[in-house]
Amino acid sequence: MIFNFQRFSTHDGPGIRTVIFYKGCPLHCDWCSNPESQAFGPSLMYDRKLCKSFGDCLKQESNYLSAGENGILIDWASVTKPEKLKDICASRALTVSGEEKSIGEILVEIEKDRSFFEQGDGGVTFSGGEPLSQGPELESLLEELYKLKIDVAIETSLYVSWENIERCLGRNINFLVDLKHTDSDKFERFTGGNAALVLSNIKKLAASRENIIIRVPVIPEFNHTFQEIKEIVDFTVSLKAVREIHFLPFHKLGSAKYEMLGMDYKYSGIRNLDVAEMAEYVVYAESVGLIAKIGG
């Protein structure tokens, strides 16, 4: 299930890229900038500022929608089959994130941009959500792109079974791997996942000699100390086959989406991190032999 096609991207792999965002992620990071990507099915989103109180949505669904003084009220815990409300709101206050797309339909979208990313040494990047949670569908799509000689990158946490990763290998893919933390306790408390699985998968992937860049989302209260970043850098150096690391400063660009999804945003009171605060991480990473940069 796809929730966005982002064209002319220059921050998700080399060159000019078309980024395809899959829905569904086994992790639930507290700072996630795409919270609509977490559920594996369609997600209802409501932007109160756009609501004109036309009432068409209430006629279609009364089980979890009701009229309020300033727009509609949503019983988020009772939301089922939000896809019924797709395109029903004329003002676009109520939307549904996520749509099933066949491999053929995705390839049509990619072909629209092919001339642009070929001129700019770019390609296609799969993001999410977690693309590697998509199973055989992604494998089939990767095979088609490999035959078409289109450059492919995958943005991934590697928080999946090794089998999901292994079936994607051998197609000259650029793996942009989010390494959030090496400490099991912090990893679990802030993401709901298991750091041991991620670290194990990174080691296996590195041993397979695939193209890998480690990307570290630098998050206040989670991994924003020199010692924590040092441990991530040292782990990266130990992989031998991985020579590049990127530091991604925390931002709150996706914070408004939480209210639109009826979700709490735990980082609402935390400031964005400045690029200058990443400087010492870059210096250390370069001092141990890595290529390091700030941003993706």
Q: Could you write out the DSSP letters of every residue in 184-224? A: HHHHHHHHSS-HHHHHHHHHHHHHTT-EEEEEEEE-TTTT-
Per-domain residue ranges of the chain: 2-38+99-294, 43-97
The CATH fold assigned to 2-38+99-294 is TIM Barrel (3.20.20)
| Both structure tokens of 148 | 């078409």
Dihedral (Cα; 167, 168, 169, 172), 10-degree rounding: 160
Pick the closest to residue 99 from 22, 160, 46 (CA basis): 22
How confident is the model at residue 61, as a pLDDT? Answer: 84
Q: What is the pLDDT of residue 116?
A: 83
pLDDT at 13: 86
Amino acid at position 242, single letter: V
pLDDT in the model for residue 169: 95
Taking a C-beta distance cutoff of 8 angstroms, is the pair 37, 3 a contact?
A: yes
Distance of CA 95 to the CA centre of its chain: 20
Please classify residue 59 by burial: count the beta carbons closer than 10 Å to its beta carbon, then call 0-12 exposed, 13-18 middle and 19+ buried. Answer: exposed
Give which of 141, 186, 208 is closest to 29, Cα–Cα: 186
pLDDT of residue 234: 98
What's the confidence (pLDDT) of residue 270?
95
- Report the predicted TM-score, pTM, of the whole model to 2 decimal places: 0.94
Type of residue numbered 130 = E
Q: Give one word for 4, left, alpha or beta, with left for phi > 0 and alpha for psi -120 to 50.
A: beta
Of 255, 270, 294, 258, residue with least CA distance to 220: 270
Q: Are 16 and 124 in contact (CB under 8 A)?
A: no
Those residues whose C-beta lies under 8 Å from the C-beta of residue 102, and which sit 6 or more positions away, are none
Question: pLDDT value at position 120?
Answer: 74
Q: What is the largest CA-CA distance in the chain?
A: 63
Q: What is the pLDDT of residue 226?
A: 97
Q: Please name the residue that has the structure tokens 């009220």.
A: 73
Angle at 126 between CA 129 and CA 219, to 5 degrees: 50
User: What's the rounded Cα separation, in Å, for the pair 149 and 207?
Assistant: 24
* Block mean pLDDT (10 aa), the chain, length 296: 92 90 97 96 96 91 89 94 92 95 95 84 94 92 95 97 95 96 97 98 95 97 97 97 97 95 95 95 98 92
Specify whether the CB–CB gap between 204 and 174 falls below 8 A: no
Structure tokens at 27: 């992790």
